[in-house]
Structure 1
Amino acid sequence: MPPAADPDAQATQYIPPVPAQPGGADAAYGIRPGAPGDRQPPAEFDNLFRESSGGPDATQQLPQFDPQAAPGGRAARRERGSAGSGRGNGNGGSSRGRIPLIAAIGVGIAVLGIGAGAMFSGGGDDGGDENKTAAATAPTEKESASASADPAKAQAVALDKLLADSNDSRDAVIKAVANVRACTNLGQAATDLRNAAEQRNGLVTRLAGLSVDKLPNHAQLTAALNSAWKASALADTHYAAWADQVAAKKGCPKGKARTTPQTRAGNRESGTATTQKAKAAPLWNSIAQTYGLTERQPTQL
């Protein structure tokens, strides 16, 4: 055979007929009929070796190949391609099997894309909710910040706590002075009066530690409070000394406390305290009204 210079020339080569083999066409192709597990010949082979009646023809030969019938190299390749695509177990079947697989992969990719889009869009919605929440809470935070940033209000609140403690010893002082006049329980009365004086001096010390410069009329208010508490402390101290005098010999003629210079000094300081408290009360109440704090009467200072 001459060298094949052109691939198309092979398509027109002459194929000799296949001689008959013992055992018929099945034996010629290495097929053992009835052998368990052997594959059956393809349908096209069956058509070649069997009559229309279905009986085997062991002497039938393959059809002669007509070189003139083959149109050419490209046509021959097309015929071979068409024949291969027509086989049930050939490339055509594999191509048809791959089509549903490719379609399924495409559907899966589309589903993944939709899911990813939903996830990202959901994340955007969550961020929107967070932004809405932050926007809704922003005014409240601003209000809290402005309230805490108001130095005048902070000073008013601190002073209100101090004034709430200023009245703690008042009832004890009133009771102690009444006992001294009646010459009753004089030792305890003197102790209670000295404790009250200490407590009122403590108010003066605490007021000095507060910043009240942002409050309206703060100078007048602090001056009136300091004067009132100092005078009250002095009055308590004088009354305590009076209790000591009354407890001595002849201090209670006919069951009544004798008046002494300590009594008069205590009364004087008590009057000063009352006057200063009357000045401080309206100054504080104006501040309390502004910031919603407790208003107080002079006797409550």
Structure 2
Amino acid sequence: MVGCAVLGLGAGALLSGGGDDEKKSGEPENVSASAPAEEKPSPSPSVDPVREQAVALDKLLADSNNSRAAVIRSVANIQKCESLDEAASDLRDAAKQRNDLVRRLGEIQVDKLPEHQRLTAALTKAWKASAEADNRYATWADQTKGKRACRDGQARSTGQHAAGNRASGEATKAKNEAAPLWNSIATEYGLTKHTPTQL
């Protein structure tokens, strides 16, 4: 039994030694075998997370000016006591759009953008104030349909009209703050710049 064990160890040593010899004689082959691992394609460059967030906000801002023309036209018609029902409807639609912008802003990630807190706060304030102004002017249009609400083709000013003007002023102030903050980001990443009135 002992003899068999010794023979077994000897055979194992020979086999083991043979493996080492083969490795030594095949060293060049081993080098070439490792080459494919070194030739693996390098990973693709990581996406810039700041640019991704900037692009997402750029898409949102592209919709921010959609109702501006309708609002200007509607307020002008109210002042002239014209197309009051249409004006009120268009203004309420504009208010819904502003509130939708606020909702969408809350759904996108902007935490990596420069001064993102100031920017989002200014945009939120601007859009909420614009929505309030639109709703106030819409109520003014409803009031203007009443008796003695118009005089010589001009709508009388009411508390709703005055409140709309105040909210519009707040919106303008917030837009003036938001525009330069966004435009610095837009310049950095080649995106669309906006004037305050386009927000």
- 2:185 pairs with 1:294: no
**Equivalent residue letter for 2:197:** T
TM-score of the aligned structures, taking structure 2 as reference length: 0.78
Show the counterpart of 2:113: 215
Within 1, Cα distance between the matches of 2:196 and 2:151?
35
* Structure 1 stretches lacking a partner, 5+ long: 1-130
Show the counterpart of 1:261: 159
- 2:54 pairs with 1:156: yes
Shift of 1:151: 1.0
Show the counterpart of 1:126: none
SS in 2 for 1:279: helix
After TM superposition, the runs of 4+ consecutive aligned structure 1 residues lying more than 2 A away are: none
SS in 1 for 2:155: coil
Shift of 1:242: 0.3
SS in 1 for 2:112: coil
Equivalent residues in 2 for 1:2-81, closer than 5 Å = none
Cα-to-partner distance string for 1:113-170 (whole Å, 9 max, x where unaligned): xxxxxxxxxxxxxxxxxx9xx99xx78x83xx33xx2111100000000000000000
**Equivalent residue letter for 2:103:** T
Figure out how many residues of one structure are paired with residues of the other and give that number: 162
Within 1, Cα distance between the matches of 2:148 and 2:60?
42
Structure number with larger C-alpha Rg: 1
CA RMSD of aligned residues (A): 1.7
Structure having the larger proportion of residues in helix = 2
Shift of 1:254: 1.2
* Structure 2 stretches lacking a partner, 5+ long: 1-35
Shift of 1:253: 1.1
Equivalent residues in 2 for 1:165-180, closer than 5 Å = 165-180=63-78
Cα-to-partner distance string for 1:27-53 (whole Å, 9 max, x where unaligned): xxxxxxxxxxxxxxxxxxxxxxxxxxx
Equivalent residues in 2 for 1:198-237, closer than 5 Å = 198-237=96-135
Shift of 1:288: 0.6
TM-score of the aligned structures, taking structure 1 as reference length: 0.52
SS in 1 for 2:65: coil
Identity %: 60
